[in-house]
Chain A
Amino acid sequence: MTEGFRLSPYTCTFAGALLVGGVTVTVLLRRGNVPWRYIGYSMFLNVILILYGSRMYSVVASGFKVRLWDAGIASLGGVIGLLAGVIIFGCIYDEGKALMWESYILAMPLMYGIAKVGCYLVGCCHGIEYSGPLAVTYDSEYMQGGPYFPVQLLESIVFIIVFLIGVGVYRSNGRKYTGAVVMLLCAIAKFAQEFLREEHVGKSISGSQWICIGFFLWSIVLFYKSGNKNVQIQKQK
C-alpha cells in the first residue's frame, strides 16, 4: 500500500537555489542601475543554460550514450552553463559586463551550497565509506547504502562560507577582486572535496578536478586583469 508521496527534496532545493540566486543577482544588479529588462534577459538565458549545462555535462561524460532528456543532473555542468551565460550576455551588453560578471560569480557559491543540501537529502554524489561522527546512511526508495561521509553537507557549508567571504570582499576596498577571489576559493574547495567522494575512489584526478584546475588558472588571470584595471584608470587620469 502506498503510504504517500513527496516532492523530491532535490527538486525543491534546486528550485530554491535558482530562486535565491535570482534574488541575490537582482539586488546586486539593481544597485548598479542595470535596467530591469536586461536583468530579465540575462536571467532567462542563465536559467536555460544552467539547466542545459547540468544535463549536457552528463551527456558528454557518458560519451553521448544517453539523450539529454534521460541524462542525470551534474552541478558542475550547471556552473559551466551559468558562466557561459554570463560571458555570452556580457558580449551582448558590453557596458554592464563587469557588473554582471561580479554579481553572478558572487551568487554562484550560494546557489551551489543550497543545491548540495538536496544532494545530501537524496543521497546522490555521496561520500566515501565512513562510520565516524555525522556519517549518513540512506534507506529510501531512491537510495540505499552507507554509512558514508556527508561530503554533500560539507560542500554546502564550505560554499556558503565562500559566498560570505565573497560578500566581505565585495563590501571592502578590494571589490574589483570579488570575482577572482570567489572563483579561486570555489576551485580549491571543489577540488579538495572531490577526494572525499566515493566515485573518486581509484582515480588520481577526476574529470571534475580537471575542470577545477581550469577554474583555478582562470581565477589567476582574473586577478591579473582586475589589478590592471586600476592601473589603466590611473593612467587615464
Chain B
Amino acid sequence: MEQHGDDSRVNKLCVVGLVCLILPILGLLLEVLLPAGGNKVVATISFIFQLMYIAGLVIMIGVRVKYPSNVFGKVLMWLHIIVGVIFLIILIAAIVMCAVVINGCMSCMDDFLSGRCDFIFWNFYK
C-alpha cells in the first residue's frame, strides 16, 4: 500500500495540512470572543474555516494511508489527536460547568451559558 513519493512533495502537503489545522482553531477562538448574532460575514468566514479543518483532516489521513513512514505525517496525525482530545476535555468541562451553574444560582446564569446549556441539558424547574 505504501507509495514511495518524493518526501519534499509529501512534506509540502503536510505543511498545507498544518495550516488547515491551525487557521480554524484561531477562527474558533475569534468566534468565541465575538458576540453572538446574525452576522452573515462572521458565519461565512466560520464556515470556510471549518471546511479548511476538514481539508486538513483529509490531507492528514491521505498522507498516513499513502505514505505511512513519513515523519511529518505522523506528527500531523498526533497534532490532530491532541486537538481532538483538548476539544473533548473542553466539551466535558462545559457540560460539568453547566451542571454546576444549573444546580446552583439560577440568577447567576448569563445568556452565553444558558444558550449552550439548553442543548446539553433538559431541565425541570418547580
A66 & B124 in contact (Cβ 8 Å cutoff)? no
Least CB separation from B36: chain A residue: A70
Partner of A8, one of B32, B47, B119, B124: B119
Q: Are A2 and B125 in contact (CB under 8 A)?
A: yes
Listed residue (A8, A63, A66, A67) with the most chain B CB atoms within 10 angstroms of its CB = A67
A5 contacts B103, C-beta separation under 8 Å = yes
Asked if residues B61 and A41 are in contact (CB atoms below 8 Å), the reply is yes
A49 to chain B, nearest CB (A): 7
A67 touches B102 (CB 8 A): no
A121 to chain B, nearest CB (A): 9
Does A67 lie within 8 Å of B61, measured CB to CB? no
Known: A7-B120, A67-B36. A1 touches B126 (CB 8 A): yes
* CB-defined contacts of A6 to chain B, threshold 8 Å: 121-124
Report the count of interface residues on B (CB-CB < 8 A): 39
Hey, which chain B residues are within 8 Å of A89, CB to CB?
Answer: 61
The answer for the CA separation of A55 and B62 in the assembled complex, in Å, is 25
Q: Contacts A64-B40, A68-B46 given: A92-B122 contact, CB under 8 Å?
A: no
Contact string against A for B residues 81-109, beta-carbon threshold 8 Å, 1 for contact and 0 otherwise: 00010000000000100010011001000
Q: Assess whether A221 is interfacial by the CB under 8 Å rule.
A: no
| CB neighbors of A among B32-63 (8 A) | 32, 36, 38-40, 42-44, 46-47, 50, 54, 57-58, 61-62
Contact A52 B50 (CB under 8 A): yes
Q: Is the CB of B54 within 8 A of A65?
A: no
Closest to B104 in A: A2
Contact partner, B43, options A2, A49, A65, A95, Cβ 8 Å: A65
* 8 Å CB interface, B60-84 against A: 61-62, 64-66, 80, 84
A–B complex contacts, Cβ < 8 Å, 8 sampled: A1-B125, A9-B122, A41-B65, A44-B57, A70-B36, A92-B62, A141-B123, A141-B124
9 pairs of A and B residues whose beta carbons are closest in the complex: A8-B122, A64-B43, A67-B43, A41-B61, A3-B124, A92-B62, A65-B38, A141-B123, A5-B121
